[in-house]
Structure 1
């Protein structure tokens, strides 16, 4: 296969991958493996994650059940694989929604300033002063528990944080010489934003989104642990931790493996975020 026969998209992805620092590449590889595992969950999981087996209640790990069984005799490995799918879907959805909403809000606030900044920033500041978990619990108490509501709650938590990062970056770019040059040529505000401000101010937002994704895993697990996130019988890492807390001393594997899965996901996002910070945020706009 020659270089010309390789699709341009594949070449761009490979170049972007090797453009990242080594730590970020490790985070990307871990996330890719986890995503593949979630996509192939029906093929990888050896058992039905919700199948109850009374003969295997709290049974230890073996060849057929490498992670053992829980208090209902369900296979912990199969439930962990499916729980990864649930948790990652909520994390990616919440961070994507928050980022897509924060991008126009933060850009407009930083570029236009004045009353536009006040109208956008003051309501977001009101959200920012509320404790994150309390804000999520309040929303869930109003709407009701569930995976979709948990994703929206996390997105609401992250919206003001990401919007402030985008606002700060846009404020810096708005006073750059090339932006002044665009205005001098008679470009409209929309053209200046599209061609100069957004492309040059997007880096810190991507860095912050990657870092917050790791915390989103913990928030999602906390909500599920409290019974406010994913509802049974759908497997979730936080829900598995909640179900296994009463048998921790008898069957520690029920808690250990979901906990390790959460740790691996958080590690991957932190590695990715640190690498993106090194490449995209040299001025340290993301704290």
Structure 2
């Protein structure tokens, strides 16, 4: 049992070491951000929603390293809690879209014909709509909120991820080992489970990592417009919206949430670029 666990640990370290440097750096930044988000109640120096009239637009100091906003709330504490909100929405949206796109794209690419048409044509209709307009339309129907924003982002990314999985499955389905499985009399379900899905999954993971960076920006844009996370919950986009009227008077209210968005996007881009070089050498994801 101990030898098996040690062997598994060595394989995991080898797999991580085989990743390009950019992927390791991006993953490390994301791990740090996730830890910060999870431990927000312990790391935040102040209550993110506590109003302090004596600290309205207070400049950064030792007690408030990021300064205070127009209501006297600590910007550092709100930024830490905003990581939790933004990352939860992004990870949730991309995970939901990927889990739905995986079977749809696999079936469309493997079977082709009428199966492909039935799956791909409705997804193509979603794909032609502008992303932000589609999100705003859904929110206008259902109502604003973090959960609705996550569902809107998932709906935007579903056709993109499904098309990537379809293309990858189509390539894998024409491989010799798949033909060998069919020749042995394996059922379609067995071929999909043993060969197609494991070998076609790489480009989907790459595309999901890349799209997660854009999801951060979409979530921030929706919150900035008042359609995503609602006050008093801390959100990076909402903080930018609340601080735009005092930008010249208290620039720190805008600078630090903006930098936080840039760091998250950079981490996902580094991870996606490294995974693309490692998992998608054939360039299924352009």
Query: TM-score interval w.r.t. the shorter chain?
Result: over 0.9
Q: Does 1:118 align with 2:109?
A: no
Q: What corresponds to 1:50 in structure 2?
A: 49
State how far apart, in whole Å, the 1-side matches of 2:7 and 2:36 are. 27
Deviation at 1:4, TM superposition (A): 4.0
Change (3 A) 1:68 1:41: same
Q: What corresponds to 1:186 in structure 2?
A: 185
Q: What corresponds to 1:225 in structure 2?
A: 224
Deviation at 1:5, TM superposition (A): 8.6
Deviation at 1:150, TM superposition (A): 0.4
Deviation at 1:219, TM superposition (A): 0.2
State how far apart, in whole Å, the 1-side matches of 2:134 and 2:244 are. 25
Q: Does 1:250 align with 2:220?
A: no
State how far apart, in whole Å, the 2-side matches of 1:70 and 1:14 are. 44
Q: Does 1:196 align with 2:195?
A: yes
State how far apart, in whole Å, the 2-side matches of 1:83 and 1:12 are. 35
Change (3 A) 1:44 1:8: farther
State how far apart, in whole Å, the 2-side matches of 1:157 and 1:248 are. 32
Change (3 A) 1:238 1:166: same
Deviation at 1:17, TM superposition (A): 1.8
Q: Give structure 1 stretches of 5+ with no counterpart.
A: none
State how far apart, in whole Å, the 2-side matches of 1:208 and 1:150 are. 20
TM-score normalised to structure 2 length: 0.98
| Pairing of 1:99-118 with structure 2 (within 5 A) | 99-118=98-117
State how far apart, in whole Å, the 1-side matches of 2:56 and 2:6 are. 51
Q: Give structure 2 stretches of 5+ with no counterpart.
A: none
| Pairing of 1:51-200 with structure 2 (within 5 A) | 51-200=50-199
Q: Deviations over 1:184-234 (max 9, x none)?
A: 110000000000000010000000000000000000000000000000000
Q: What corresponds to 1:216 in structure 2?
A: 215
Q: Does 1:263 align with 2:256?
A: no
Deviation at 1:18, TM superposition (A): 1.2
State how far apart, in whole Å, the 2-side matches of 1:13 and 1:265 are. 25
Deviation at 1:19, TM superposition (A): 1.6
Deviation at 1:12, TM superposition (A): 4.2
Deviation at 1:13, TM superposition (A): 3.6
State how far apart, in whole Å, the 2-side matches of 1:160 and 1:232 are. 31
* Matched residue count: 285
State how far apart, in whole Å, the 1-side matches of 2:3 and 2:64 are. 47
TM-score normalised to structure 1 length: 0.97
Change (3 A) 1:184 1:283: same
State how far apart, in whole Å, the 2-side matches of 1:57 and 1:116 are. 60
Deviation at 1:46, TM superposition (A): 0.5
State how far apart, in whole Å, the 2-side matches of 1:244 and 1:10 are. 47
